[in-house]
Amino acid sequence: MARALRPAVLLILVASLLFLVDGYLDGIYPGGPNWSFDAYSGLGWTSYLFAFVNAVVAFLIARGSERMLALRIGLAAFFIFERPVSAVALGGKPIESIVVHLVTALLEAVILASTLRVWRLGHSYSQTDLSFLAMPSGSAPAAAAAAGPDAFAAG
């Protein structure tokens, strides 16, 4: 499962980098031409927010959080539509920024496919396949024998 998860996490981190590049290309940096909270109808700063959220979610997915994986599936579906729309709907942007928006949308489609694949892979195991995870770490027969016959019958 970790092998299937690694490419998804790396792609999410690349998407985070693209969000940062987009913020820079939009001129939203100290001293930049659009350095204000009013840039692009007040939504210019969201590229940096998306980059931060993506990086945190990638870290939590790498640590094994299934809920974050589900959240990232939803975010990928959102970004597939948000990136192209925000490229053209928020006002005049440089062509490089529009290209980065579109590349990010394509990358988000790949992320959606890979995270769905990991999700299906994680849910393809039956409960009996995973029952070994609930077993105690010690030897159960030896522990029961040491505790006595009453403990074995009770537990």
- % of the chain at pLDDT higher than 90: 39
- Whether 128 is in a domain gets the answer no
Q: What is the 3-state secondary structure (H, E, C) of the chain?
A: CHHHHHHHHHHHHHHHHHHHHHHHHCCCCCCCCCCCCCHHHHCCCHHHHHHHHHHHHHHHHHCCCHHHHHHHHHHHHHHHHHHHHHHHHCCCCCHHHHHHHHHHHHHHHHHHHHHHHHHHHHHCCCCCCCHHHHCCCCCHHHHHHHHCHHHHHHC
Whether 140 maps to a domain, the answer reads no
pLDDT tens profile 80-113: 999 999 888 877 788 998 999 999 999 999 999 9
Higher pLDDT pick, 146 / 42:
42
Domain membership of residue 81 (yes or no) is yes
Position 153 in a domain: no
Q: Is residue 132 part of a domain?
A: no
Residue 107 structural domain: 2-123
